[in-house]
Amino acid sequence: MGNLICMTKKDTRDNNHGSKSKRMGRSQRKLLAEEEFLHRQALSMALQQHQLSQRFDGSMSRRIGSTSSRRRNLSDPFSNGKQLWKEAKINAEMYQFLNVVVTVKVLLKNYRHGSMLLLSSRLQHRKTCRAACACIWRIPYSAPDFLENIKLNKFVLVHGEGFGAWCWYKTIALLEEAGLVPIAIDLTGSGIDLADTNSVTTLAEYSKPLISYLENLPEDEQVILVGHSTGGACVSYALEHCPQKISKAIFLCATMVSDGQRPFDVFAEELGSTERFMQESQFLIHGNGKDKPPTGFMFEKQQMKGLYFNQSPTKDVALAMVSMRPIPLGPVMEKLSLSPEKYGTGRRFFIQTLDDRALSPDVQEKLVRDSPPERVFKIKGSDHCPFFSKPQSLHKILLEIARIP
């Protein structure tokens, strides 16, 4: 690799001599010139970094040895070994720096701008990567533009029916790598919350972990709230009860119901009317006995795969199959009371999933028409779980919403 980076102009001309150079277009010559300029800049920057580290990294006596040690005969094995070790360390540092430069250059060619910013933020804690970025763009390294434009950096992620905080693992990783702060909540009786699902009978009880988190935030702190599927009802509930804590509310293929509606009403087209579902559904759970009203429901695995995960990777489907819990029936059957003064003043955004079989695109369109949000975003090729099937697309939209003034 060192030979490649230190190639001279003469070497470049010799290697491209003959008929091949004649066929080379203007864009190819420009690319070679840019490559050569990059390598020279990289080498220059590496040398500069080394010189600065020599100047400021501790005392000279500690770095190159005392005056007496410099008077030692060159045949002194201790002195020679120490010097060789130093030279090897310097060469390793320079090689690491140049390797980062070339790696970032290659990624710049093959990745879109947004992905490259993500990569830069992933590596920005490394001194060599900061210098490499400065070398490539010939400007001092700074935080990506999208971070500077985001006023609020905390995302609170609310899962949907049967899921838990675990379902956001890809989104959490992407947001953290972008320098943001994701918080995933386990609703009552979900994820690793120890409450019995059969005992959760109201939306207030179901949403309690979310409301408690919002109420315990510092007085002047706000968050961006993201709710998936029936988690949208919890987001609406939070907008009504803690509006001052929520800067923006994002409904991800979620039950963005109107005042007086039940979350279940949104799914009625797929699951049938409430009455029919309660009478005929084979998925109901009678936690208090067969002679008592049902307390929850749980789809069979094959049905779940078809409804929720028709575009999701196999590994994520397997994770969901061993992690999902029964869905408490009470919260999804409860009518929401939403006021224009609180819920109505919240900033709402809706993300549609266009290959969704649990909440069809037509139903999502109806939700948007009945209660228009500030903006609508769409994810092509996503099933009902974009955090599995289209995590990068979802991440991009979350950042875009966060940047909106």
Report how far apart, in Å, the C-alpha atoms of 335 and of each of 31, 142, 331 are.
63, 49, 9
226/174 Cα distance (integer angstroms): 15
CB contact at 8 A, 227 and 235: yes
Reduced to 3 DSSP states, what percent helix, strand and coil does the chain have, rounded to the nearest 5?
55, 10, 35
Q: Any catalytic annotation for residue 384?
A: yes
- Return the CA Rg of the chain: 29
Sequence-ordered alpha helix ranges (H) in 124-168? 127-137, 145-148
64/128 Cα distance (integer angstroms): 23
91/290 Cα distance (integer angstroms): 75
Report how far apart, in Å, the C-alpha atoms of 211 and of each of 161, 191, 203, 326, 399 are.
17, 17, 11, 22, 24
Report how far apart, in Å, the C-alpha atoms of 158 and of each of 1, 66, 172, 175, 273 are.
48, 62, 12, 15, 26
Q: Any catalytic annotation for residue 125?
A: no
Q: State the catalytic residue, choosing from 186, 193, 316, 356.
A: 356
Q: State the catalytic residue, choosing from 39, 228, 384, 395.
A: 384
Q: Any catalytic annotation for residue 229?
A: yes
Q: State the catalytic residue, choosing from 120, 229, 371, 389.
A: 229
What amino acid positions are annotated as catalytic residues?
229, 356, 384
